[in-house]
Amino acid sequence: MPDDDATPEAEPEAASADGDAEATVASAATTLDPEATELLARLEAQLGDAVIEHGAAYGDVVVRVRPDAWLRTARVCRDDLGCDYLSFVSAIDWMPAPLLVDEGSGDTSTPAQPRETTYGTAGSDGRYQVFAIVESTQGARRRMVLKTDVDEQDLRAESWVSVYPGADWHERETWEMFGIEFDGHPALRHLYLPFEFEGHPLRKDYPLLAREVKPWPGLVDVEPMPGEDAGEEATPAVEAP
Amino acid sequence: MTTGTELPPPGQLPEVHVDPSMLRQLAESQVNVELDTGDMILNLGPQHPATHGTLRLVVRLDGERVIAADPVIGYMHRGYEKLTEFRTYPQITTLINRIDWLSSFANEVPFISGAEMLMGIEAPPRAQYIRTALTELSRIATFLLFLGEMGLQVGAITPAFYGFRDREYVLNLIEGVTGGRFHPNFNRIGGLKDDLPWGWYSECRSTMAKVLASCDEFENLVVGNPIFEQRTRSIGIIPAELGAAYGVSGSNIRASGVDWDLRRDGKPYLPYNELDWKVWTHPDGDSFARYWVRLQETRESARMVLQLLQQMPAGPVMAKVPRIIKVPEGEVWVNTENPLGEMGYYIVSKGATGPFRVKIRSASFSNVSILPWMLRGVYVPDIITILASLYFILGDIDR
Q: How is residue A98 annotated by DSSP?
A: P
| Site from B70, B81, B359, B399 to mutate, A interface, most A CB atoms within 10 angstroms | B359
Full residue range of the structural domain in which residue A31 is found: 13-231
Q: For position B130, what pLDDT does the model report?
A: 92
Map out the domains of chain B with their CATH numbers: 49-398 (1.10.645.10)
Contacts of A131 in chain B (CB under 8 A): 346
Contacts of A92 in chain B (CB under 8 A): 348, 357, 359
Contacts of B81 in chain A (CB under 8 A): 177, 202
- Find residue A62's DSSP bridge partners: A55, A145
Do residues A62 and A55 touch, judged by C-beta distance below 8 A? Answer: yes
Q: How is residue B220 annotated by DSSP?
A: I
Asked whether the predicted pLDDT for residue A132 surpasses 90, the reply is yes
Pairing of strands A128-135, A85-93: antiparallel
Highest mean pLDDT range out of A74-83, B261-270, B296-305? B296-305
Pairing of strands A51-57, A60-65: antiparallel
Distance from C-alpha of B128 to C-alpha of B146, rounded to nearest angstrom: 27
On whether residue A8 sits in a domain, the answer given is no
The alpha-carbon gap from A56 to the nearest alpha carbon of chain B, in Å, equals 9
On whether residue A3 sits in a domain, the answer given is no
On whether residue A59 sits in a domain, the answer given is yes
A 10 A CB-CB count for B258 gives: 23
**Average pLDDT for residues B292-313, to the nearest whole number?**
92
List Cβ neighbours of B245 (8 Å cut-off, separation of 6 or more). Answer: A78, A84, A85, A86, A163, A164, A165, A166
Q: What value does the mean pLDDT of chain B take?
A: 86
Asked whether the predicted pLDDT for residue A42 surpasses 90, the reply is no
On whether residue A205 sits in a domain, the answer given is yes
> Counting beta carbons within 10 angstroms of the beta carbon of residue A182, is it exposed (0 to 12), middle (13 to 18) or buried (19 or more)?
buried
Contacts of B361 in chain A (CB under 8 A): 87-88, 133
Checking ipTM against 0.85, whether it exceeds it is no
**Average pLDDT for residues B59-81, to the nearest whole number?**
87
Q: Between chains, do A13 and B322 touch, taking CB under 8 Å as contact?
A: yes
The model's pLDDT over A197-210, given as tens digits with 9 standing for 90+, comes to 888 888 888 877 77
For CA atoms B166, B169, B171, B173, give the dihedral sign: negative
What is the C-alpha R_g of chain A? 23
* DSSP H or E stretch at residue B185: none
A 10 A CB-CB count for A47 gives: 17
Distance from C-alpha of B134 to C-alpha of B123, rounded to nearest angstrom: 15
A 10 A CB-CB count for A6 gives: 11
The whole-angstrom distance between residue B241's C-alpha and the CA centroid of its chain comes to 22
Q: Structural domain tally of chain A? A: 1
What band does A233 get if pLDDT is binned at 50, 70 and 90?
Answer: very low
For A48, phi then psi, to 5°, come to 65, -130
For B335, phi then psi, to 5°, come to -125, 145
Q: For position A228, what pLDDT does the model report?
A: 58
CATH code, domain with A225: 3.30.460.80
Q: For position A171, what pLDDT does the model report?
A: 92
The model's pLDDT over B88-143, given as tens digits with 9 standing for 90+, comes to 888 898 888 888 888 889 989 999 999 998 888 889 999 999 999 999 999 999 99
What band does B50 get if pLDDT is binned at 50, 70 and 90?
Answer: low
Three-state SS at B311: helix
- Find residue A64's DSSP bridge partners: A53, A147
On whether residue A179 sits in a domain, the answer given is yes
Asked whether the predicted pLDDT for residue A152 surpasses 90, the reply is no
Question: How many secondary structure helices (H) and strands (E) does chain B include?
Answer: 16, 8
| Nearest CA among B163, B281, B286, B278 for reference residue B218 | B163
For CA atoms B61, B66, B68, B72, give the dihedral sign: positive
On whether residue A133 sits in a domain, the answer given is yes
| Nearest CA among A49, A54, A64, A46 for reference residue A149 | A64
Q: For position A191, what pLDDT does the model report?
A: 87
The alpha-carbon gap from B153 to the nearest alpha carbon of chain A, in Å, equals 27
What band does A226 get if pLDDT is binned at 50, 70 and 90?
Answer: low
Do residues A21 and B122 touch, judged by C-beta distance below 8 A? Answer: no
A52 residue type, one letter: I
On whether residue A73 sits in a domain, the answer given is yes
| Nearest CA among A87, A174, A92 for reference residue A134 | A87
Distance from C-alpha of B272 to C-alpha of B311, rounded to nearest angstrom: 12
On whether residue A29 sits in a domain, the answer given is yes
Q: What value does the mean pLDDT of chain A take?
A: 76
Do residues A167 and A134 touch, judged by C-beta distance below 8 A? Answer: no
